[in-house]
Amino acid sequence: MNTLEDTLVAALTETAAEIPADHLPPLQLPTRPARGPAWFPGRRAGNQFRTWLAPVTAAAAVAAVTALSLVLTLQSGPAHQPLPAAPGRGAAVLPPHYAALATQGTHGAASFRSSLVIRDTATGRTVATVDPPSPANSFCDVSGTQDGRTFVAEGCIVTVTGPSDAQTVTTSPVKFYRLTVDGQGKVSGPSPLPVPVPGGYDLDGVAVSPDGAVLAVASTDRSHESARNPAISLYKLGSGQLLRSWSWAGRADIMGRSAGSAPLSWTADGTTIAFPLMLDHPVNHVSQDIGQVRLLDTSAPGRSLRGTRLVLNFGPTPSLQVSAALEGPDSMITPDGSRIVASTAVVGGHPASTRLTVSEFSAATGTKAAVLSPVTVRGNNVLFQTVLWSSPDGSKLIAAVMPAGGLGPDRLLPVGVLTARGFTPLPGSLAGITQIAF
């Protein structure tokens, strides 16, 4: 290991250690254009089918958003001077590896299809590249355990039709696959799993239990005009046996406010699953999406998600958003179950400005406990930042956050370790990466 790696590993395993920004290049991720009527981030299409904009349409969407003054520009900050976290919260070691979905190319159908890569967290080095087993031609979702040893990915078939200026992209589920990484970084798999994949466009996301034995599958019925009857089902990973299932009767969706992937998160003891719920709530005959975060006690009796505990109610979700290229959750529970980590965006003032944060809330009361990475941008810009991983008590996070200088012409977001002391970028370029699982 060289001096730079020694320095980085120390910074990533000790909360008090920090690396100056010029020691290593930030991990950069290009952002997507704003979400409008025809734009649905990644695979998550809310109440519509999953789809992507064709290149020409995407460019037009960006232009329209710019005309609406939705370009993010730093107004005040800085972005990486978080408020102090609660005293006495200790350091935590990051998982040694992470899995990522990487586009298979930059043009044509390959730009819509993904392979899976396993990376070393401390160095950014690619340990393995895994192609989807036939008949799948892409991976569409990925989840991992907190220790970075077990990953589950959904294989799918991505079909691209039509001319380049009017492409139609459809996905069909195939199978779930398991991959494991041992202590020396050796990758095994993908091994097919007998867990059934929800049909059509019904899959909202999956989450592997901390012990790697159970797979939580979130799905929503999208065969109607609006999403309805979302469900969470638990399956034995090895046998595919259905252990338990809960559902929410009515118009709703298990989806975060950013419509990102991987909406479910487990506590370390496997007794609680945090999930975002998007309620379809009509106001004056106009449908509004109400964003919530709820906790499911996996040992409690009953089969209704309506009996789960409401922790956070964010109210109506803005319909115009700036979405990052990296899909991911905008909320999660800390492994010790004490806090909910959630991205926030508050619009106010004349002229309008938007305050973005990654905040922590008490899982018991919903009260705000800490604010990290606050930044204010001009305009009614809403960007729900992605939270990828949390230490047991939430004192250390991995997140994609607004850079200190705001979004420039290249519209890149850095990914790194976020603590009360500041932000340390992870090494390596992740161009083409659409999902990350720790």
**DSSP per residue, 307-318:** GSEEEEEEEEPP
Q: How far apart are CA 221 and CA 254, in angstroms?
A: 10
pLDDT of residue 78: 33
Most confident of 48-62, 86-100, 126-140, 402-416: 126-140
pLDDT of residue 406: 62
Is-contact 433 100, C-beta < 8 A?
yes
**149 alpha-carbon distance from chain centroid:** 19
Q: How far apart are CA 80 and CA 132, in angstroms?
A: 38
pLDDT band, residue 385 (cuts 50/70/90): confident
In this predicted model, what pLDDT tens digit does every residue of 188-199 receive, in sequence order?
989 999 999 998
Domain spanning 3-437, CATH architecture: 6 Propeller (2.120)
pLDDT band, residue 46 (cuts 50/70/90): very low
Q: Which two tokens stand for residue 234?
A: 């638990």
Q: How far apart are CA 268 and CA 231, in angstroms?
A: 22
Residue with tokens 């979400």: 35
| Mean per-residue pLDDT of the chain | 78
Average pLDDT, stretch 194-217? 92
Is-contact 291 256, C-beta < 8 A?
yes
pLDDT of residue 27: 43
Average pLDDT, stretch 390-406? 85
Residue 331 or residue 283, greater confidence: 331
H/E element, 160: strand 150-161
**141 alpha-carbon distance from chain centroid:** 10
pLDDT of residue 413: 77
Q: How far apart are CA 206 and CA 232, in angstroms?
A: 9
Three-state SS for 65? helix
pLDDT of residue 358: 93
The angle subtended at Cα 328 by Cα 283 and Cα 415, nearest 5°, is 130
Residue 47 scores a pLDDT above 50: no
Q: Domain segments of the chain: what residues?
A: 3-437
pLDDT of residue 229: 92
pLDDT band, residue 285 (cuts 50/70/90): low
The angle subtended at Cα 301 by Cα 248 and Cα 240, nearest 5°, is 75
Q: Which two tokens stand for residue 371?
A: 């604010």
Considering the entire predicted model, what is its pTM? 0.81
pLDDT band, residue 324 (cuts 50/70/90): low
Q: What is the dihedral of CA 430, 433, 434, 435, to 10 degrees?
A: -80
pLDDT band, residue 178 (cuts 50/70/90): very high
Closest C-alpha among 294, 310, 209, 195 to residue 254: 294
Is-contact 33 54, C-beta < 8 A?
no
Residue with tokens 């010790």: 336
In this predicted model, what pLDDT tens digit does every residue of 224-250 receive, in sequence order?
777 889 999 999 999 999 999 999 999
Residue with tokens 């806090």: 339
pLDDT of residue 380: 75
In this predicted model, what pLDDT tens digit does every residue of 72-83 receive, in sequence order?
333 433 333 332
pLDDT of residue 283: 67
Residue 11 backbone dihedrals phi, psi, to 5 degrees = -70, -35
Q: Range with the lowest mean pLDDT among 95-104, 251-260, 278-287? A: 278-287
**93 alpha-carbon distance from chain centroid:** 21
pLDDT of residue 387: 93
Closest C-alpha among 271, 278, 238, 241 to residue 256: 278
pLDDT of residue 146: 87
